[in-house]
Chain A
Amino acid sequence: MTNSSTNQTGLVLNIQHFCTHDGPGIRTTVFLKGCSLRCKWCSNPESIHPKPELAYNISKCIGKKQCGLCLKPPCSEGAFYVLEGEDDRIRINWDLASDCGQDCVDLCPTGALYLFGQAMTVEQVLDEVEQDSSFYRESGGGMTLSGGECQLQPDFSAALLQEAHQRGFNTAIETAFNVPWSHVEKVLPHVDVVLHDHKLTDPERHKKWCGVDNRQILANMKRAYETFPDKTFIARTPLIPGVNDDEDHIRSVLAFIRPYHNVIDYELLPYHRFGESKYGFLGRVYELKDFTSPLPESVQRLRSIIDEAFGRSSPLEQTHELKP
């Protein structure tokens, strides 16, 4: 690995330690920022936009009387304000604060204003990942790249995965495959396990719920299965009630993946709403506010279809959480 590779910089959202659902063993998951889909159920909204992004936690604000620094230049006029009344804590006009960045965050002494996403080099990321290396050895774990869509930063991801391999770590990615094939070609040679989403089968329904149709996604999947026969692929469906929690979808995914022996499993990730609060921090509206988690018996019924297709006699115990 050359210095230029380890100096490669990417936009990292978070590095999460001791993950157990993002590939084999105990893993360190590196979340990259930027996504090419807009799934309405996304539980990581802070990962969507491909640049650092302002967030606000009002409970940390000490108010105008004690501070009020964000009410003055260089912050944009009207971006921050205080309502009439006793509570003098800052409110954000998210439409006017959309250009606010590090300058505004630096003004905030309490950390109420903060940024999602920071530039990190491959070296910096791996130094942190390396801290968990003893757990990888014990558990057969390693490093997982997630997002957002980690393949949207192909050069950084490839360099990161390659260097992780050189340090002896198992590597995995979580991807939706909605990227140009040129990105896949760069990234996948350095990946051991590919966890990939089959969100919806029908192109038009995919467009409605995820912002774009799935033609590129399906083409990339097929090509990846065929181009990288030695890689392990695990298909996944975030199970959203009324959207894709039907037998037809499950069976069509099975029909898609079963011809390929390197697709070793198909997992269902029942919908949850754990990410909702983050929409608030970002000043965005969560569109599925009236959605609820699928019933356990419905999930089990669908899982039994998968078990049958994979020739498993007993239902798998799967308790994975939904990832975007």
Chain B
Amino acid sequence: MNATIKRIAINVGFGYSPGLNTVISGAVLAANELGWEVVGIRDGFEGLLFRDRYPDRGLVLLTPELVETLDPSSNILGTAVRNDPFHVRIINAESLVEEVDRSDHLLKTLQAEGIDAVISVVGTQGLSILYKLHRKGLNTICIPRSVENDIATTALSFGFNSTLSFVTELLDRAKQAAQSARQVGVVEVLGEHSGWLALQAGIAVCADAVLIPEIPYDLQKVATKLQDKFRTGRSHGLVIVAEGALSVDKEAVVASANPLKASLSPLATDYQGSHVIQRSGHAAQTVALQLQRLINQETYPLVLGDWVKGGAPTAVDRQLGLSYGAGAVRALHAGQTGVMVNFQPPNLSFVPLMEAINKIRIVPADSEFVQIARSLGICLGG
């Protein structure tokens, strides 16, 4: 396939993370070296699905000169709220709302534009949609993006390191606030299915406890750990809780959980049950309230929500973004398609999309990070 490539496209799936422009730059610079032209599709696939909405017909020419001027923390292409060409919501001629399959239309448009392949920067859902498009004939390379680092097969998803750094900085501040107020701060961080962000940030700030989805928590253990510290004269505490963390107490789980996302959640254990996010802040509120009943100290919940995904990328993510972008071009040049770029330090490789979907990268019980946390005296609640 590589001998025939002249023009490729790049787009960004639903959601955002720091430094998306670095991925775009990496792809543009690498493609330029091969003499390929790169265009960006605006707002996921919407630029090509609703071309009339865009003055530039939904495609923007990406040149090395242009990418030199891009702010690394931004995303020149934008994203879509929905990014599924198989279920595109439209208003038909009779003013009725309906969802239609526009995947054929999308593939024809790409062909008409002379686009030989598409590089997509996507999260877990985007991988499945791109896999579906690949099965219909789209040449595609996916780049994993997840601030929770929960995409399987790759060791490090793009965006995670920047978010980790920012969360760590905020936790430092939360710790100082807790110290000053002589209270126990319970801080909720992103992590519906996996606790990498909570665990690694918790280690970085030497939190008193870290509660993650992979290890059901017993708050009595957390309370005991805090009480031990209070007896030595400490008057504050810091507990990090991932939003998908759950209690070992089944009744508490049922009482607190909302069935809303149960069947959506790959880790759900029943339709009413665990690993279900009630709402942003629910995990922190639940833990803060229950913990306060168990210890002789005030607690307060704090929520670091989606906004930690914004901001400037770290050096690691800038380097990773450029590498992923260039790696995707390398994959196309090597004749690959229907694969995800996979980073297993120090190597970049490519895995078929089928191997990347339907899996979650969770924190194993014997993970080195779990061992480190325990060694540092951080209570994991279980």
Using CB atoms and an 8 Å cutoff, list the residues of chain A in contact with chain B.
35-38, 49-50, 56-59, 77-78, 81, 83-84, 87, 91-96, 98, 152, 178-180, 210-213, 215-216, 276-277, 279-286, 289-290
Contacts and interface: CB of A to CB of B under 8 A. Distances in A.
Given A58-B263, A280-B261, A282-B263, 9 more contacts: A78-B357, A96-B128, A211-B89, A212-B96, A212-B97, A277-B272, A279-B264, A280-B259, A290-B280
B125 A83 contact: no
Counting chain A CB atoms within 10 Å of each CB, the highest count among B96, B99, B132, B354 belongs to B96
A58 B263 CA distance: 7
10 contacts: A35-B97, A50-B98, A59-B270, A59-B273, A78-B131, A87-B269, A91-B266, A95-B128, A178-B95, A212-B91
B273 to A, nearest CB: 8
A57 to B, nearest CB: 5
B129 A95 contact: yes
B358 A38 contact: no
Nearest to B278: A289
B36 interface: no
Contacts of A283: 263-264
Contact of B262 (A210, A211, A277, A285): A277
Contacts of A93: 128, 357-358
A215 B358 contact: no
A96 B133 CA distance: 11
B113 to A, nearest CB: 25
B96 A58 contact: no
Given A36-B96, A81-B358, A289-B279, A280 B128 contact: no
A81 B360 CA distance: 12
Contacts of A36: 95-98
B230 interface: no
Contacts of A50: 98
Contacts of A56: 263
Given A78-B354, A281-B271, A216 B128 contact: no
A285 B192 CA distance: 14
B268 interface: yes
Contact of B271 (A58, A213, A216, A289): A58
B131 A96 contact: yes
